[in-house]
Structure 1
Amino acid sequence: MKICDVTQFYSPLSGGVKRYLHEKIDYIDKHASHDEHVLIVPGAKTKLNANGRSRVYTIRSPVVSRAAQYRVLLNLRAVERILEQERPDVIESADPYQLGWKALKVGRVLRVPVVGFYHSHFPEAYVRKSAMLLGKTATHRVMKLSRAYVRKLYNQHAATVVASDRLGRVLRDWGVHNVRVLSLGVNTEIFCPDGSGTEAIRRSLGVNSGQTLLLYVGRLAKEKNTATLLRAFKSLQCRRPNEFHLLVIGDGPERTQLRKLQLRTGNLSWIRYCADPCELAGFYRAADLFVHPGVQETFGLAALECQVCGTPVVGIRGSCMDNVICHDQESWAVENSPDALVNAIEACSGRKLSVLGRNAARVARSLYSWPRVFDELFCIYREVRSKYRRF
Structure 2
Amino acid sequence: MRYCDLTLAYTETSGGIKTYIDQKRRYIADHREDEHILIVPGEEDRTTRDRRLTKIEIESPLIPGCEPYRFFWRPDRIRRILEETAPDVIELGSYFLSPLAAFRYRDERRDAGGACLVSAYFHTDVAHAYVGAPARKFLGEGIEGVSETLASWGHTLSEILEDGAESAFGHMFRKCDLTLAATEAQAARIAEYGVTGTEIVPLGVDLSRFSPERRSPAFRERLGVGEDEILLVYSGRLDTEKSVTLLVDAFERLPQEPRFHLAMMGEGPLRPELEHRAASLERCSVLPYEKDKDAYASALASADIYVTAGPHETFGLSVVEAEASGLPVVGVDAGALRERIRPEWGRLGPVGDASAMAENILEIAPRRETMGAAARQHVFDADYGWDGSFGKLFAIYASALEKARS
5+ residue gaps, structure 2: 111-115, 140-153
The equivalences for 1:195-344 within 5 A come to 195=214, 198-236=216-254, 239-240=255-256, 243-325=259-341, 328=344, 331-344=347-360
- RMSD across aligned C-alpha pairs, in angstroms? 1.9
**Deviates most, 135-144 or 216-225:** 135-144
2:11 aligns to what? Answer: 11
Q: Quote the sequence identity (%).
A: 30
2:31 aligns to what? Answer: 31
Structure 1 residue 108 and structure 2 residue 107: aligned? yes
Alpha-carbon shift at residue 62 of structure 1 (Å): 1.6
Helix, strand or coil for the counterpart of 2:57? Answer: strand
Q: Could you say if the C-alpha distance between residues 191 and 259 of structure 1 is closer, same or farther in structure 2, counting changes exceeding 3 Å?
A: same
Cα distance in 2 between the residues matched to 1:78 and 1:100? 13
Alpha-carbon shift at residue 177 of structure 1 (Å): 2.2
The equivalences for 1:91-106 within 5 A come to 91-106=90-105
On the 8 A contact 2:122/2:186 being kept in 1, the answer is no
Alpha-carbon shift at residue 270 of structure 1 (Å): 1.5
Alpha-carbon shift at residue 319 of structure 1 (Å): 1.9
**Deviates most, 327-336 or 146-155:** 327-336
Matched letter for residue 283 of structure 1: A
Aligned residues: 385
On the 8 A contact 2:241/2:310 being kept in 1, the answer is yes
Q: Deviations over 1:36-76 (max 9, x none)?
A: 11111111221111111111111122222687521112222
Helix, strand or coil for the counterpart of 2:306? Answer: strand
**Deviates most, 267-276 or 65-74:** 65-74
Q: Deviations over 1:85-130 (max 9, x none)?
A: 1111111111111112322222212221101111110111111123
TM-score in terms of structure 1 length: 0.93
Matched letter for residue 344 of structure 1: N
TM-score in terms of structure 2 length: 0.90
2:149 aligns to what? Answer: none
Q: Could you say if the C-alpha distance between residues 350 and 68 of structure 1 is closer, same or farther in structure 2, counting changes exceeding 3 Å?
A: farther
1:363 aligns to what? Answer: 378
**Deviates most, 286-295 or 319-328:** 319-328
Cα distance in 1 between the residues matched to 2:62 and 2:192? 35
Alpha-carbon shift at residue 317 of structure 1 (Å): 1.6
5+ residue gaps, structure 1: none
Matched letter for residue 206 of structure 1: G
Alpha-carbon shift at residue 214 of structure 1 (Å): 0.3
Cα distance in 2 between the residues matched to 1:5 and 1:74? 17
Helix, strand or coil for the counterpart of 2:13? Answer: coil
On the 8 A contact 1:242/1:267 being kept in 2, the answer is no
Matched letter for residue 127 of structure 1: V
Q: Could you say if the C-alpha distance between residues 211 and 67 of structure 1 is closer, same or farther in structure 2, counting changes exceeding 3 Å?
A: farther
Cα distance in 1 between the residues matched to 2:360 and 2:273? 22
Alpha-carbon shift at residue 332 of structure 1 (Å): 2.7
Alpha-carbon shift at residue 350 of structure 1 (Å): 2.3
Helix, strand or coil for the counterpart of 1:315? Answer: strand
Alpha-carbon shift at residue 385 of structure 1 (Å): 1.1
